[in-house]
Structure 1
Amino acid sequence: MDITCREDKLLCLVLCRMTFLSTGEKIKLIKKLDSLHNVIVQSIEDISTIIGRKSRARWNGKFVLRQAQQDLHLIEKLNISMVLCTDEEYPASLREISDPPFLLFYRGNIKILRNSCISVVGTRRMSMNAGRECVEFSKSACLDGNNIVSGLAYGIDRKAHEGALKAFEEASDKSLVGRTVAVLPGAIDNIVPEGNRKLAVKILESGGVILSEYPPGEEALPYRFVQRNRIIAGLSSATVVIQAPPGSGAMHTAEFALDYNRELMFHREAFSDSSMKISSIVRRQLSIAADKNSIEEKKLKMDPELYVHDGAPIIKNYADFLECMFELPGKRSCEQTKEVQLTLFD
């Protein structure tokens, strides 16, 4: 679909607001109904028939159309772009996942997502060493032509973006350097945390891109942070966890990476003395709550040690990362992995 005309933009925005439908079901509606008017006049029973399942959602087409009109007004006013999941400019790696966003809203150069991307994630409460290692890894990866994807949060996310920006600033030939990609848990017009707004400006000035699956005005609600993490994992061929305690947001990204059959690696800083102490405290807290809360039980299983036990490699730098990426499956020989595994499991 060509979403350059106003009516098609409104149609896509209406469908974006139909949160009770999956992306696949929204595509079915487009193919079956093919016009804005045809969608908004449908009853929920009609929609259920088209998608092949019964929906009990509340649906008022005229009300949602008014929301979409407000969205479009803000998109035009704030100079926000959007791309549909079936469009050529939509990131191919993201289209491959089981639950791709129907629309992406963005500012910046979305074409950079055609190039190699590496997701770099971790805790907000990072150690100084982890911060330094994150900057160095991201800088090296960008100098080698990779884009760095992260979530614009404080801590490791910020350091990942800063490392990429450092590569751009220092490169003599900027056309050969990767850029950085920030994926937001809320709308493009609502940068969170506020303290990273200047960083967001630098990302755009360097030729990077900031994107979200939410239309203008949408807040960064708690559940949307996890939803955002699936996009971070889906955009990249590999996810690198620098430092993260069990059950954290970064570990959700790690889980998504495995679900999408992408590479997952841990930096050695994830197993430093300070990291292990924090992880031990978090495990105890989760264990106490796990008897009463199945969510906490699930978080206990999202533990860096368990992923390494199951074969996830441990790296100390970008050179190690490349070694792991080009090794044959089942023959990972990174010395960092062996060293930490001996400490953890022997």
Structure 2
Amino acid sequence: MGVEREKYFLSLCLAGVSFLTLREKNILLKKLDSAAALALLSIDDIAMLVGRTFRSAVWNGPSCVREAEKAEKIIKAFGIETILNGEAAYPALLSEAENAPFMLFCRGNASCLSGETVSVVGTRRMTREGKEAAFSFSRDAARNGVTVVSGLAYGIDASAHAGAVDACFDAMEAGTEKNCGKTAAILPCGADMIVPSSHKRLAEKIIKTGGVLVSEYLPGVPAEAWRFVHRNRIIAALSPATVVVESPPGSGALITAQYALDYNRDVMIHEAAFSVPAKAVSRQGRLELEKKIERGEAAKGKAERTAEKYVADGAPVIKDYADYRRCRSESPGARSGEPSLF
């Protein structure tokens, strides 16, 4: 096995170790020369090499190598592209995040993430107004050459992807697809899987129109609740701005918005979030959330995370994609707090 091949396989092994940070994985990648060397290490050996004690981490070196071997077979079968943090193909904006993924696994055209991007997120419980807003915003963004980033979830995510795909198909018919933006779906599982499974056709369209499915997890890794939240940081980090279309209190979309702020990126709220139907969904969502808090099933802080609070704290409200472009060119704070919407 050649040196490059050894390093590549070692990288695959490290990508599957969930208790290590990006910095720690890079340390091991530099200090070790093969996956076999990694497999021989004890958890104490790893702690000594990276300079951190692991109190509850579970480590089995041989098992780690076996999982990487399985993943490699899937990578070959699905034609998945792997991009290591630090390589030229790794998205520049994503690399700026302190907790960026060690490796990306991509199905489709990963180069679409090297151009201009915008992240579009929102609730699974969308209204008709929210669906139309996400679709039209993303369609217009793609028509303008911008790649739309979202999470392939039910609701707003799917509508955002669909809008961009629609623009791409129109461009393909017109022979102008090179000038059209694409769409990227960030997955909470391995890149060989589609979650939810009912969005397989949409995923196929994303790839067919030059977009990409992206994961930080080894192929074969299933979706779990914590991975949905964890992948939200990638959605936020891939773009200079995140647009929240609709988001009841405690919505995962607002977690993405907070990640964006943490990365010093812009957060904008679409006016669809304050439509009469959206407010009704938000009221119902708040009642359900309050009951969960009473039962100890949710943290009290979740109820405080609302679209209204983000706007009160300075997030601008936009009407559509054209307004988004105008807002991006305005001075900071020009649209701070719009109480008439509440």
- TM-score norm. by structure 1 comes to 0.92
CA contact 2:271–2:319 (8 Å) conserved in 1: yes
| Alignment-mate amino acid for residue 71 of structure 2 | D
CA distance in 1 between partners of 2:198 and 2:38 (Å):
41
Change in CA separation of 1:89 and 1:50 when aligned onto 2, cut-off 3 Å: same
Identity of aligned residues (%): 44
Q: Offset at 1:224?
A: 0.7
CA contact 1:286–1:297 (8 Å) conserved in 2: no
1:185 to 168, 184, 188: 188
CA distance in 2 between partners of 1:47 and 1:24 (Å):
13
Structure-2 residue corresponding to 1:307:
310
CA distance in 1 between partners of 2:200 and 2:86 (Å):
31
Structure-1 residue corresponding to 2:228:
225
Counterpart secondary structure, 1:133 = helix
- The Cα offsets for residues 25-75 of structure 1, whole Å up to 9 and x where unpaired, read as 100111222333332222211211111111132322222112211111221
CA contact 2:84–2:102 (8 Å) conserved in 1: yes
Structure-1 residue corresponding to 2:261:
258
Counterpart secondary structure, 1:120 = strand
CA distance in 1 between partners of 2:227 and 2:246 (Å):
22
CA distance in 1 between partners of 2:44 and 2:15 (Å):
19
Q: Offset at 1:8?
A: 2.2
Change in CA separation of 1:4 and 1:178 when aligned onto 2, cut-off 3 Å: farther
CA distance in 2 between partners of 1:269 and 1:75 (Å):
40
Structure-1 residue corresponding to 2:92:
92
CA contact 2:117–2:238 (8 Å) conserved in 1: yes
Structure-2 residue corresponding to 1:62:
62
CA contact 1:83–1:89 (8 Å) conserved in 2: yes
Is residue 175 of structure 1 aligned with residue 178 of structure 2? yes
Runs (4 or more) in structure 1 with deviation over 6 Å come to none
CA distance in 2 between partners of 1:189 and 1:33 (Å):
29
Q: Offset at 1:284?
A: 2.9
CA distance in 2 between partners of 1:263 and 1:69 (Å):
40
Structure-1 residue corresponding to 2:41:
42
Q: Offset at 1:342?
A: 2.4
Counterpart secondary structure, 1:215 = coil
Counterpart secondary structure, 2:300 = helix
CA distance in 1 between partners of 2:135 and 2:6 (Å):
44
Counterpart secondary structure, 1:296 = coil
CA distance in 2 between partners of 1:343 and 1:93 (Å):
32
Structure-1 residue corresponding to 2:30:
31
CA distance in 2 between partners of 1:126 and 1:217 (Å):
30
Counterpart secondary structure, 1:331 = coil
| Alignment-mate amino acid for residue 51 of structure 2 | G
- TM-score norm. by structure 2 comes to 0.93
CA contact 1:109–1:208 (8 Å) conserved in 2: yes
| Alignment-mate amino acid for residue 55 of structure 1 | F
CA distance in 2 between partners of 1:210 and 1:4 (Å):
29
| Alignment-mate amino acid for residue 61 of structure 2 | G
Is residue 273 of structure 1 aligned with residue 272 of structure 2? no
CA contact 2:7–2:33 (8 Å) conserved in 1: no
Counterpart secondary structure, 2:285 = helix
Structure-2 residue corresponding to 1:52:
51
CA distance in 1 between partners of 2:94 and 2:22 (Å):
12
Structure-1 residue corresponding to 2:340:
342
Q: Offset at 1:332?
A: 2.8
- The Cα offsets for residues 276-334 of structure 1, whole Å up to 9 and x where unpaired, read as 1221222233334435648431211221110011111111111110111111112237x
Comparing 77-86 and 176-185, the one that deviates more: 77-86
| Alignment-mate amino acid for residue 129 of structure 2 | N
- The Cα offsets for residues 142-181 of structure 1, whole Å up to 9 and x where unpaired, read as 1111100111112111111111111112233211110000
CA distance in 2 between partners of 1:282 and 1:131 (Å):
18
How large is the RMSD of aligned CA atoms in angstroms? 1.8
Change in CA separation of 1:289 and 1:159 when aligned onto 2, cut-off 3 Å: closer
CA distance in 1 between partners of 2:16 and 2:138 (Å):
35
CA contact 1:120–1:157 (8 Å) conserved in 2: yes
